[in-house]
């Protein structure tokens, strides 16, 4: 029954992607036909150039990697390994949620997959132990957003492919901000639980240090997978696309040997990956046509000239862009929003002097905020389903609100200290 429901969800996602992609593409074709002397052939060329991109082929591979890990039981093993680490810290397993989401995000590349994988393990376990249900969902919704920021990331792949920015540098740029956001989340949990101890049950069980360390050693296959993906890119052994292929092979081996992956589960993972990439592909297709029409008509340059003529400084424009993303994030999923807005936002912000690598990190965090913002908020929706209605969408949104604020705080910190995002890429590449 679960497989049927999940499959239906993916089909629905694909359908909505097709509808949105068609709307974007049709708008672009109409603009080219009526305002660019019928230059619709330019749209065909643009579509061919984007989908013939070697870089873009990494997206379905990373989606498949995440699906393999999701259905192999590896998330459960990772959760069990981290559980004793935070047992005596105020907040207990709420911190474990953030830590495991960070680890899973480092190999899945998807916010939704991270929230679903960790949530399916964590929620029943924590409810059984007496944790506040809404607090559990809030931590999982917030932690799930790390899947888009910590590399490898689908948002970085799409951003890099559409803006011709180095994928390797983008991946590496997400490491320090991802760690910072995870620390902000844990800091909030510590503060909230010290203020309201009823959010979590106290655990006075003393676990010997050697037992804790032995448990953490159980996650070495996942660490090996992370090193294989990120290390191969950072040290020049593989391109981002090639690292995706390496990651899929290593993940499949680990899942068969260390997890409980079967041939049937692998086939299901491939099918779901195809459906999800189809959804993304339709949006990319439509947005490519719209982007081409905007470029031909000179929209980005016109907007830039209007901004400069209005005397707005770069940080005022940044604030406007942030507000636009926050509003649109209420109605569109993150990746669709990125694809729709990049044709305007990227040339505008880079010509104002913002670093394209830093901008990729900022936009990723902004679309992460959309993942925990109703009514679309996909992380909230998935986790609400996982709770079987025990936590409503409204309760989930309220519980996730502090994590929403922490993500916005991260944007402010990165604006003041942009080197947090750029120093590692500059150092390693």
Which residues touch 387 (CB under 8 Å, ≥6 apart)? 123, 133, 137
Alpha-carbon distance of 325 to 304, in angstroms, equals 18
Average pLDDT over residues 13-34: 66
Q: Residue 194, by phi and psi: left (phi above 0), alpha (psi -120 to 50) or beta?
A: alpha
3-state secondary structure 312-370: CCHHHHHHHHHHHHHHHCCCCCHHHHHHHHHHHHHHHHHHCCCCHHHHHHHHHHHHHHH
- Report whether pLDDT(14) > 50: no
- The angle, 0 to 180 degrees and rounded to 10, between the axes of the packed helices 378-386 and 133-144 is 140
Q: How far apart are CA 178 and CA 106, in angstroms?
A: 10
Whole-number pLDDT of residue 93: 85
Six-digit token string for 146: 């790390």
What's residue 411's pLDDT? 96
pTM of the model: 0.77
Residue whose pair of structure tokens reads 């990049």 in the numeric block: 342
| pLDDT class of 5 with cuts at 50, 70, 90 | very low
Question: Would you give the distance in Å from CA 292 to the centre of its chain?
Answer: 26
Q: How many residues does the chain have?
A: 429
SS3 content of the chain, % helix, strand, coil (to 5): 80, 0, 20
Q: Give the pLDDT band (50/70/90) at residue 4.
A: very low
Dihedral-angle region of residue 162 (phi above 0 means left; psi in -120 to 50 means alpha; beta otherwise): alpha
Which position has the higher pLDDT, 230 or 268?
Answer: 268
Q: Residues 6 or more apart from 114 whose CB is under 8 A from it? A: 66, 101, 104, 105, 108, 143, 144, 146, 147
Cα Rg, the chain, nearest whole Å: 21
Which stretch of DSSP H or E encloses residue 218?
Answer: none
- The 3-state DSSP class for residue 151 equals coil
Cβ atoms of 124 and 118 closer than 8 Å: no
Which helix (DSSP H) or strand (DSSP E) does residue 144 occupy?
Answer: helix 133-144
Q: Which of 3-12, 354-363, 381-390 tops mean pLDDT?
A: 354-363
Helical (H) or strand (E) element with 225: helix 220-226
3-state secondary structure of 254: helix
| Strand blocks (E) in 322-417 | none
Q: Could you check whether the bond before residue 93 is cis, i.e. omega within 30 degrees of 0?
A: no
What is d(CA 158, CA 162) in angstroms, rounded to the nearest whole number? 6
The C-alpha atoms of residue 402 and residue 353 are separated, in whole angstroms, by 31
Q: What is the pLDDT of residues 84-114, one digit of tens each?
A: 778 778 888 888 889 888 887 777 667 777 7
pLDDT (0 to 100) of residue 342: 85
Pair 343, 403: CB distance under 8 Å: no
Q: How many angstroms separate the Cα of 210 from the Cα of each of 90, 100, 215, 292, 374?
A: 22, 20, 9, 59, 44
| Structure token pair of residue 420 | 């947090």
Each residue of 202-252: pLDDT tens digit? 766 666 767 767 767 777 777 778 788 777 776 777 776 777 788 888 888
Query: In the structure, what pLDDT confidence band is assigned to residue 307 with cuts at 50, 70 and 90?
Result: low
What is the rounded distance in angstroms from the CA atom of residue 262 to the CA atom of residue 149? 30
> Which pLDDT score, from 0 to 100, does residue 308 have?
63
């Amino acid at each position: 029954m679960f497989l049927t429901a999940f499959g239906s969800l993916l089909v629905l996602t694909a359908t909505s992607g097709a509808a949105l992609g068609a709307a974007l593409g049709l708008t672009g074709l109409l603009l080219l036909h009526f305002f660019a002397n019928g230059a619709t052939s330019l749209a065909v060329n643009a579509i061919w150039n984007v989908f013939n991109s070697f870089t873009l082929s990494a997206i379905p591979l990373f989606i498949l990697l995440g699906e393999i890990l999701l259905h192999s039981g590896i998330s459960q093993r990772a959760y069990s390994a981290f559980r004793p680490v935070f047992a005596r810290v105020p907040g207990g397993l709420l911190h474990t949620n953030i830590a495991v989401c960070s680890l899973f995000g480092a190999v899945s590349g998807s916010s939704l997959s991270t929230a679903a994988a960790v949530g399916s393990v964590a929620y029943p376990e924590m409810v059984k132990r007496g944790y506040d249900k809404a607090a559990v969902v809030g931590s999982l919704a917030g932690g799930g957003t790390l899947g888009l920021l910590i590399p490898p990331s689908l948002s970085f792949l799409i951003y890099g492919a559409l803006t011709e920015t180095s994928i390797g540098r983008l991946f590496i740029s997400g490491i320090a901000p991802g760690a910072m956001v995870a620390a902000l989340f844990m800091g909030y949990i510590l503060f909230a639980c010290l203020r309201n101890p009823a959010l979590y049950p106290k655990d006075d069980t003393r676990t010997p240090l050697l037992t804790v360390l032995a448990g953490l050693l159980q996650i070495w296959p996942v660490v090996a997978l992370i090193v294989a993906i990120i290390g191969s890119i950072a040290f020049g052994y593989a391109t981002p696309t090639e690292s995706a292929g390496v990651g899929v092979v290593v993940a499949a081996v680990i899942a068969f040997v260390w997890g409980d992956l079967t041939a049937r589960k692998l086939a299901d993972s491939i099918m779901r990956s195809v459906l999800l990439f189809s959804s993304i592909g339709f949006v990319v297709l439509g947005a490519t046509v719209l982007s081409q029409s905007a470029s031909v008509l000179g929209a980005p340059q016109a907007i830039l000239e209007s901004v400069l003529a209005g005397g707005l400084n770069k940080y005022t424009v940044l604030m406007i862009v942030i507000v636009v993303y926050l509003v649109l994030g209420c109605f569109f999923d993150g990746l669709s929003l990125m694809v729709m807005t990049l044709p305007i936002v990227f040339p505008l912000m880079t010509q104002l002097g913002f670093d394209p690598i830093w901008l990729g990190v900022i936009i990723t965090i902004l679309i992460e905020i959309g993942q925990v913002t109703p009514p679309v908020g996909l992380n909230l929706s998935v986790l609400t389903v996982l709770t079987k209605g025990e936590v409503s969408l409204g309760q989930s949104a309220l519980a996730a609100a502090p994590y929403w604020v922490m993500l916005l705080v991260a944007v402010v910190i990165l604006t003041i200290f942009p080197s947090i995002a750029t120093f590692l890429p500059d150092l390693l590449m």
